[in-house]
Chains A and B, each alone.
Chain A
Amino acid sequence: MNEVQTMPQGLSAAWDTVTSALVSPLPTNALPDEVLCDALALLGGHGLGQYVEGWLLETLQVRLTTSVAPEFWTGLKQPEGESQERDRANALLKAFRNLLQQLEPFLGGLERLGSWQDESRGGLCGPGARGLTERAFSVVRAILLFSPPPVLQERVLEFYSRTFSVHMSQAGEAVEAEEGSAEHDVGSLCPGCAALVHLCWCQEALEQLQELSHILSRLQLLERVSSEAVTSILHQLIEQRMEQRCRGEYESSFLTDFNDWLGQVLGWLSRVFASKVEEVGNDATTTDVKTGQPTNALLQRWHCHMHQFFCRIYVNMRIEELFSIIRDFPESIPAIEDLKFCLERTNQRQQLLASLKSAFETRLLHPGVHTSDIITVYISAIKALRELDPSMVILQVACQPIRKYLRTREDTVRQIVGSLTGDAEGCSDLANELSRADPVTLETQDSEDEGSDPEDWTPDPTDALTDKTGSKRRSSDIISLLVSIYGSKEIFINEYKTVLADRLLHQLNYNTVREIRNVELLKLRFGESHMHYCEVMLKDVADSRRINTNIRDEESRLPVEEQSTLLLSAMIISSEFWPQLKEEKLELPAVASKAMEDYTHRFEKLKAMRTLRWKPHLGSVTLDVELEDRTIANLTVSPIHAAIILHFQDKGTWTLEELSGVLGVPQEMVRRKLALWQQQGVLREEAGGRYTVQETSSCRERADRSVMLIDSDEEGDSNTATQSEQREEKLQLFWAYIQAMLTNLESMTLERIHSMLRMFVAAGPGVTEMDVNELQAFLQKKVRAHQLIVSTGVYRLPKTTQ
């Protein structure tokens, strides 16, 4: 009983001893170890040991909520009215210093208790030092940072930004000195702390940083407090730097540059996380400057994070600019390579595709852009995107809209063919591409067997179009890509035939070196058989030259008086092999038609059973016009111009009707052609639609006579029938079918006619390409010509006189 009464007394003394030992700011000097031991043993003996731990944490919590935390926050907010950054930094540090000071006794106590527990002194047991401090720190975090006012982040952010710029200015000093940056000379502001040089607190800031880092890591608050600030600083800085350095700059690579810079940034990070890094070595030296690879796990993590972030920002920026990058290709190769590197590390292909597609659509594919420009951009895109993505998927997907759009432009084929043969101005890409060694033949490209090693097979990226063609069809060859816009090479070959015919008929000088070269190159691409017609055309030119010299020789052997006054040479073509030529009527003056007759006779003698059919409106004539006071020499004009002026030689004044009658050409045409001679000042229009020769020139503008002036519509003139004319003729072919059908079936709808035509005439060339709209337009024309009647969507033939 006695014992029972005395117990509480001894116990409470022991409790006091232990608790005061735990929370006393000073180490245990106050009490000798044995006393403590005894007290502990006593408490333990009464089963109270476990409560010591609970009490300690409880006390910590109470202290935190009642005094420590409020004090911390007020301390942080203290220099409220002041705007001095330096003061705010001081306050921040002071607040944390206080915090540490307040908590230090508890931390000490916890450690002591933990170590007792570890040693099981006095029968104590528990989670041990590690577990205890763990628990205590979560209490601290919970109470202090459960909902921290934004001021903490603001202050931390501000402080870190400052130390960052201080660090960077110091780290970058060597570089800046080389660059001879002007900021140093101005001298008024320190580049690090942006204060006047004599007030510079760079060093102080760095020391503060170090202390803060220590305090935070002591309280295990470092990552919690700093991560957010550090992340946002880094993001902001990377973005800012990218904006300054890279935007609009495609001609140099930024990867290494940025890697170096990230290395410097890591130096700062190692200061921020100094205490964690300590085990590895001293602050800034933890980064191996050469590789930029940090050796420490934490820094490694940050490095990865920054790198990833850099890639993402870079890709974002370049995606925005991709159109310009493509336009600037090949100067922009460095940018493409950087982008390729970064794109592999971020999952942004979809974004890139979408953005590029819409860029094409808004900037390129509208009526204001010339077809040749679209083709030029497309070619650049092919070149750039095949660098960017060797699997060609991006190319295929992103350029789909371009191809679709080009299909709707009428002059696409002509432009492509023109630039293939190097005729188009300013676009030699395709001509170069054509003459490249080792061309991809369009024939073999379709074949199933590609002959590549199955080991080299790589799967398509996931964003590939799942069409039947598969990856082997994704060619990167520019010419095959362009040619395949229409899905068939026949269109191109036909177009080339037309272009070639035009050139040959315009030049008329039998000089075909360039054309022969082009045809040979195209043969490599399109295959021998397709270019056969072109070869015959070129052979015709060579034959014509031979025949010409032959006939000339023969002529020159004739007596002088029998020789023709007109020096005629001819381009003799094999009509089956040339594109359809425009048929125009033109009655040539006697002198010319006589010469042609003679020429035909000689040809017939030369080539038995063959004759010539002249195309009087084609060709060219070189002539001099001698007037009373002047001579226009060496004018090259078309036959119709020559015919007109020859008529004026016989008679000084003609009316439009007279000329039209004698030439067999519509008046409108004659008027247009007369414009040339008016321009030359040879003819003058007078009242009543009369044209008269102007023998003496009026003193006003004398046209430069050596220059050939031609009215504007002349230049676009082509000798071959235009596509639409040829088309028209083909449709005309159907007219017979349609008439027959309507005679038998009386009335039919548009769709019916279309499907019937498809069924019956499918074997013929060109039918398959005819769509309903075209047919409708054609039928409408017939309706307007009263050859057809339409009512309620049904076509029928008009009741003719029977």
Chain B
Amino acid sequence: MKVKIKQWNGVASWLWVANDENCGICRAPFNGCCPDCKVPGDDCPLVWGQCSHCFHMHCILKWLNSQQVQQQCPMCRQEWKFKEGDTS
């Protein structure tokens, strides 16, 4: 007997490769989107800091804009620097 597979339609869910479930700022799941967005994924990406914490991009930008003096990671209070080459 020989089985010839012509087409395999699979189902998969995508997820961010992050070290946490939820965004530390908006508390919404990473796999969802930030409160200002409607659509997850490409439209509401994650960014990583050099401290290895990650957030919804929109959330951390909002946070950084509100910080007048020093730009710190809201989780660990280190100076916030985007991790190179990770944001697409």
Contact = CB atoms under 8 A, between A and B. Distances in A.
Contacts of A652: 1
A613 B3 contact: no
B9 interface: yes
Nearest to B2: A626
Interface string B16-48: 111000000000010110000011111000101
B1 A624 contact: no
Listed residue (B1, B3, B6) with the most chain A CB atoms within 10 angstroms of its CB:
B3
Given A536-B38, A626-B1, A568 B32 contact: no
A610 B3 contact: no
Contacts of B39: 536, 539
A532 interface: yes
Contacts of B46: 609
A508 interface: yes
B8 A571 contact: no
A639 B11 CA distance: 10
Which secondary structure dominates chain B's binding surface? Answer: strand
Contacts of B32: 574, 576-577
B77 interface: no
Nearest to A609: B17
B9 A607 contact: no
Contacts of B75: none
Contacts of A628: 1
A300 interface: no
A624 B10 contact: no
Nearest to B28: A576
Given A577-B40, A624-B6, A615 B11 contact: yes
A539 B12 CA distance: 15
B65 interface: no
A566 B3 contact: no
B6 A607 contact: no
A539 B44 CA distance: 14
Interface string A581-624: 10000000001100110011001000111111111101111111
Contacts of A618: 10-11
B86 A596 contact: no
Nearest to B40: A574
A653 B41 CA distance: 46
B69 interface: no
Contacts of B6: 567, 622-624, 634
Contacts, number: 156
Interface residues of A, number: 62
A435 interface: no
Interface string B41-63: 11000101000000000000000
Contacts of B3: 623-626, 642, 645-646, 648-649
B27 to A, nearest CB: 13
Contact of A611 (B17, B38, B86): B17
A607 B13 contact: no
Interface residues of B, number: 31
A535 B43 CA distance: 14
A581 B11 CA distance: 11
B43 to A, nearest CB: 9
Given A566-B5, A569-B8, A607 B86 contact: no
A627 interface: yes
B40 A576 contact: yes
B14 A639 contact: no
Contacts of B17: 609-611
A119 interface: no
A719 B88 CA distance: 33
B1 A695 contact: yes
Given A608-B87, A627-B1, 14 more contacts: A505-B11, A536-B38, A568-B8, A570-B12, A572-B14, A577-B40, A609-B86, A611-B17, A612-B13, A613-B14, A615-B10, A619-B8, A620-B9, A622-B8
Interface of A: 505, 508, 532, 535-536, 539, 543, 565-578, 581, 591-592, 595-596, 599-600, 603, 607-616, 618-628, 634, 639, 642, 645-646, 648-649, 652, 682, 693, 695, 719
13 contacts: A536-B40, A570-B9, A574-B32, A575-B15, A575-B31, A576-B40, A600-B12, A603-B14, A609-B46, A614-B12, A625-B4, A642-B3, A695-B1
By Cβ-Cβ distance, the 8 closest A-B pairs, closest first, are: A618-B11, A576-B32, A575-B13, A608-B88, A508-B9, A612-B12, A626-B2, A622-B7
